Structure 1
């Protein structure tokens, strides 16, 4: 694996993939990623947007994946979820609770996706359907994975999930539409939707980007609280190093699709081994900075082709 390691990820053997895993069956890490490469077909040939990525997420642990736009963070999460855009291919190994996700049938993926692995996307307004009440949307996710459940029961689950993310008067607000909530409250709705299934792993892709500082802190506290209460593993994808330091135990620093550094958060922050990581840390504003002086750092990414379907470049 390329990059610098401060600590080695947990290792452990896992059974061969078969049917979708049942909760608690596997041993070792909850999620184990090995040699993950994501590529897209282009007229000039295949373009690798994630290259030989490796990490583990322990049961109940929290991993932060950090990098600038185009570094491959979101493509990593989409590969894990089996949601790559058309033309994208993932190779390597992604084992969840001992079962191999890559190459799993779409039917098996649907049994896991949204149920045992939940994803919180960056923009809740674009993820929520404006024509449906939030309670209906939370209940729909529950009904799709729980056979024999009535809509009344699913509505009760939706209310309970909203209460768990500290939305006041949930029994009334469950019938509100997305536009009737603030940005922070909509993000709580997305978290409630994920929680309704009691997943083993939550992937949060830039969950605080569009929120102000105060609401950001509330959402991060909420994610940390939920992890403590449920024992779910967490992957937090962000470009904000300060966010990672608040919530996660381990960190993977990505640059142009490759791992630059990985290890325990405290160790990486106190003694970064890679020059790129040091530059990122130097760019974080500190309270002891001289007033009126903005510290900057120049970070030049290696040239690469544009990522198909994203309109972005890894430059």
Structure 2
């Protein structure tokens, strides 16, 4: 976004250029993300798709500045004109949660079993809003829970994580993210392990939030059907490489890469014959393709 007016509401909120992520191990340096590029416009929704180990979650952790120990990111991640890779950790702590919020895959492991959900949402809010009283933060927590359609939010805010279903716990994680009114939400496999009915509810909720708040969205998933429900644009990753990107409509109707075509062929279709089993083998990434 160099030379671009960062306050221009028609510009890109997030621009990732030549991003690579490497880990130093006992056997040498391993590159898990290799020189990828994409952008998220203000209010836009991007789906990052790929099989396990493709590098999609590492990409999101690099954006958040949360790479595991031993991991380093190079390239450029510009958010509202600021290169996040050059920011100090103190600055990243202010950005994380406040301006960029993340919804993790497993809400049960992300929530503390010893505290009520209302206390946890309020604590996250107060960590970014100095001087806010516990009572005011609790009010924000209840409002956020109500916003994600948790019935009787004032009472349920005093419940513990184990007293909620998996879908409701995921709504609580979304409520925690929403309480900060972020500009960008990163949702990492938010519907994994949920049944199809609850999955549809969570996807509808994410679409509703994006529409009502104007927040941008990055949806990380292995499920192409999920992307088609929520995203405008799509990035397909394999073996740490970006193999295809474009609008959801273009990629779904005319995929250019063989891997994308195989992923689409693996999606169950409504016109399949009853009892028909379609299998699509996706070869292991060759070593020369990784380089």
Please indicate the TM-score interval, normalised by the length of the shorter structure. Answer: over 0.9
Instruction: Give yes or no for contact 2:107–2:173 (8 Å, CA) kept in 1.
Output: yes
Deviation at 1:28, TM superposition (A): 2.5
Report matched runs for 1:103-252 at 5 Å.
103-252=86-235
C-alpha distance in 2 between matches for 1:15 and 1:111: 23
| Counterpart position of 1:297 | 280
Partner of 1:102: helix, strand, or coil? helix
Deviation at 1:43, TM superposition (A): 2.0
* Structure 1, unaligned runs of 5 or more: 1-11, 305-313
Q: Deviations over 1:8-47 (max 9, x none)?
A: xxxx43579xxxx9xx588721000000000000122111
| Counterpart position of 2:236 | 253
Q: Deviations over 1:262-296 (max 9, x none)?
A: 00000000000111100110010001101111111
Aligned length: 288
Which of 84, 88, 93 lines up with 2:71 in the alignment? 88
Partner of 1:166: helix, strand, or coil? coil
Partner of 2:86: helix, strand, or coil? coil
* Structure 2, unaligned runs of 5 or more: none
Partner of 2:212: helix, strand, or coil? helix
Partner of 2:176: helix, strand, or coil? helix
Q: Which aligned segments of 4 or more residues in structure 1 are displaced greater than 3 angstroms?
A: 24-27
Which of 101, 117, 120 lines up with 2:84 in the alignment? 101
Instruction: Please provide the CA RMSD for this pair.
Output: 1.6
C-alpha distance in 1 between matches for 2:33 and 2:211: 31
C-alpha distance in 1 between matches for 2:19 and 2:81: 16
Q: Judging changes above 3 Å, is the alpha-carbon distance between structure 1 residues 25 and 274 closer, same or farther for their aligned structure 2 residues?
A: closer
Report matched runs for 1:41-80 at 5 Å.
41-80=24-63
Structure with higher helix content: 2
C-alpha distance in 2 between matches for 1:220 and 1:198: 19
Partner of 1:30: helix, strand, or coil? strand
Instruction: Give yes or no for contact 1:14–1:27 (8 Å, CA) kept in 2.
Output: no
Partner of 1:55: helix, strand, or coil? strand
TM-score between the two structures when normalised by the length of structure 2: 0.96
Partner of 1:243: helix, strand, or coil? helix
C-alpha distance in 2 between matches for 1:67 and 1:92: 21
Instruction: Give yes or no for contact 1:26–1:97 (8 Å, CA) kept in 2.
Output: no
Instruction: Give yes or no for contact 2:10–2:41 (8 Å, CA) kept in 1.
Output: no
